[in-house]
Amino acid sequence: MVRKTLIAGNWKMNGLLEDGVALAKGVKEEFKKTGRRDCEVLVCPPFTLLTSVKKAVKGSRVMVGAQDCHYAEKGAHTGDVSPVMLKNVGCDYVIVGHSERRTNHHETNELIAQKAASAIKAGLKVIICIGETEKERDAGQTIDVCTKQIMGSVPEIATAQNTVIAYEPVWAIGTGRTPTTAEVEEVHAAIRKVVSKKLGRANANKMRILYGGSMKPTNAKELIALPDVDGGLIGGASLKVADFMAIIAASKQ
């Protein structure tokens, strides 16, 4: 079963116009040089940079995504951005349910499923993030927590073509700590089983499950080589062209 590796950069709330465009151009040029077609590359800048970054990567295979969206198409939602708007400025993907949104904005599984469904209907692909806190891991609840998050935040219309799952242990994000490779594979294999239960075996076999949480050039190879890991969602290390490219290089099987 071939699942194309996806390496996605989540820039979070980082980047002014000049450095965002320079970063995007750097990724574009370096990725072009590799000539690789076995791997997809995605950058997810803040809303303010989407149009400029889309322009900066034009003529390459680098895709552009947003970090969140509202579920409504338009209307009285001050400060929000709809999936239709994201599609309109050339986005290919949108991340939903990142733990920073679940925590800082109190987002529930139900809300995340609504956002994902609207994004898919607008023609975007979605990356739905899940993952346990340190307390939950210590209490042996990792698989239970991830199962509940998948059952609740993956919409019924999700398929392997329009949806990617990112397993991001909350305690590994931005901390420099990661689970062991055995722990990562255990969770990814369990996630695939839950997806099979929810969306059928064909979707589960083809759906990409990314690992995220302190992925960097030094650990990317062993993580991405795991049987049920189909790429990475990368925060800090996606902000430097050299680090991001080193992770892409490490994804060569």
Q: For binding to ligand PEP (CB under 6 A), which residues are involved?
A: 10, 168, 173-174, 212-215, 233-237
Residue 195 beta carbon to ligand PEP: minimum distance, rounded to whole angstroms: 20
For ligand PEP, give the closer residue by CB, 65 or 213: 213
Plot region of 90 (φ>0 → left; ψ -120 to 50 → alpha; else → beta) = left
For ligand PEP, give the closer residue by CB, 83 or 169: 169
Whether 132 sits among the annotated catalytic residues: the reply is: no
Q: Which of 40, 107, 132, 168 is catalytic?
A: 168
d(CA 172, CA 37): 30
Helix (H, G, I), strand (E, B) or coil at 242: helix
d(CA 175, CA 164): 24
119, 96 contact by CB (below 8 A): yes
Whether 185 sits among the annotated catalytic residues: the reply is: no
Q: Which of 98, 132, 185, 188 is catalytic?
A: 98
Residue 202 beta carbon to ligand PEP: minimum distance, rounded to whole angstroms: 28
Residue 237 beta carbon to ligand PEP: minimum distance, rounded to whole angstroms: 6
For ligand PEP, give the closer residue by CB, 6 or 84: 6
d(CA 110, CA 123): 20
**CB contact set of 223 (below 8 Å; sequence gap of 6+):** 178, 181, 184, 211, 215, 229, 232
Strand 63-66 with 231-234, pairing: unpaired
Ranked by CB distance to ligand PEP, the top (closest) residue is: 235
For ligand PEP, give the closer residue by CB, 119 or 215: 215
Residue 78 beta carbon to ligand PEP: minimum distance, rounded to whole angstroms: 26
- Find the farthest-apart pair of alpha carbons in the chain and give their distance in angstroms, rounded: 49
d(CA 51, CA 45): 10
187, 179 contact by CB (below 8 A): yes
Residue 145 beta carbon to ligand PEP: minimum distance, rounded to whole angstroms: 17
Active site residues: 98, 168
